[in-house]
Amino acid sequence: MTASPLLQAPGAVSGEGLDAGVAAHYGDPMREQRLLAEGLAVVDLSHRGVVTVSGPDRLSWLHTLTSQQLTDLPPRTSAESLVLTPKGHVEHALHVVDDGERTWLSLEPGTSSDLAAWLDSMRFMLRVEVEDVSDRYAVLGECVDREGVEGEPPTWLDPWPRVVGDTATYGPQPEEHPGRDRRWREVIVPVEEMTAAVGDRELAGTWAAEALRVAAWRPRLGADTDHRTIAHELDWLRTAVHLHKGCYRGQETIARVHNLGRPPRRIAFLHLDGSGHVLPDAGAEIRLGEKVVGRITSRARHHEDGPIALAVLKRNTDAEADLLVDGDIAAAQTQIVAR
């Protein structure tokens, strides 16, 4: 992908890995994170892919292919959905919004061409057209008041509303915390209008966005997933899977694990000991005693909570146990997915 024009902003430092091509920060990551949480900054997510589906059959067709209930999705209403492999492993994570004429799919960097090609191969005789428009449209991210913002442009609102506030009350009781509850919003704009869309607001880098994501227990394809990941392990059943819809690719695994068993692994939120002033690498081993029970998948330094992480653990790992990361970093876990 080509580098974002916002990398020319003062202080911009380019990201790496999944977030290459956009700014990791603009010189002061903690200040950027505070401004982002308060709704005063915008994150450049123009490295995300954008795919459009047009035609009168678009929503009913996407409904048959993905994990979410999309038939008759109202205009300007967003949803989260997954594309699964035939065996039920997570292949694509989609942010979906329909504008009344076409459906917009925002997805992880580097995945849009594969998704567009697969969708195109599944059109058959249906009245749909698929187009990868990642080179013409860009995604911007921000925190907004819980009600969000309606109208132009196409906007995706995180279905799990809490992105700031007390992390101890996120997933299990998302409606009970009366504090600062904002929602994560992604806006799709033409590339040439990115600067105008930012306006006079501050820019925040992806480090800031990742810290809020980890604090909100929100999984990310490519960071918290691998080739074996199923939706149950990462709590995507809460936001991205409709358990009572008809058949779609991978649906058998969704139903079987939900009704008859437990996922082999589970995501957990970790508070890390910050006395060493160093964050563990993604992929760092997690031990309970002498036994390796999982690995760090995402980690960040939060402006209020300090060093935090998401981890994928073996299902039967004691949910009350303190863990060790990378041999010597103490970690207290908060259970997200039931064992």
Which residues make up each annotated binding site for substrate?
Answer: 176
Q: Indicate the annotated binding residues.
A: 176
Q: In the 3-class helix/strand/coil scheme, how is the chain assigned residue by residue?
A: CCCCHHHHCCCCEEECHHHECCEEECCCHHHHHHHHHCCCEEEECCCCEEEEEECCCHHHHHHHHCCCCCCCCCCCCEEEEEEECCCCCEEEEEEEEECCCEEEEEECCCCHHHHHHHHHHCCCCCCCEEEECCCCEEEEEEEEECCCCCCCCCEEECCCCCCCCCHHHCCCCCCCCCCCCEEEEEEEEEHHHHHHHHCCCEEECHHHHHHHHHHCCCCCCCCCCCCCCCHHHHCCCCCCCCCCCCCCCCHHHHHHHHHHCCCCEEEEEEEECCCCCCCCCCCCEEEECCEEEEEEEEEEEECCCEEEEEEEEECCCCCCCEEEECCCEEEEEEECCCC
Strand partners, 13: 25
Say which residues have a Cβ less than 8 Å from residue 13's Cβ, sequence separation at least 6.
23, 24, 25, 26, 27, 205
C-beta separation of 126 from 107 below 8 A: no
Strand partners, 310: 269, 298
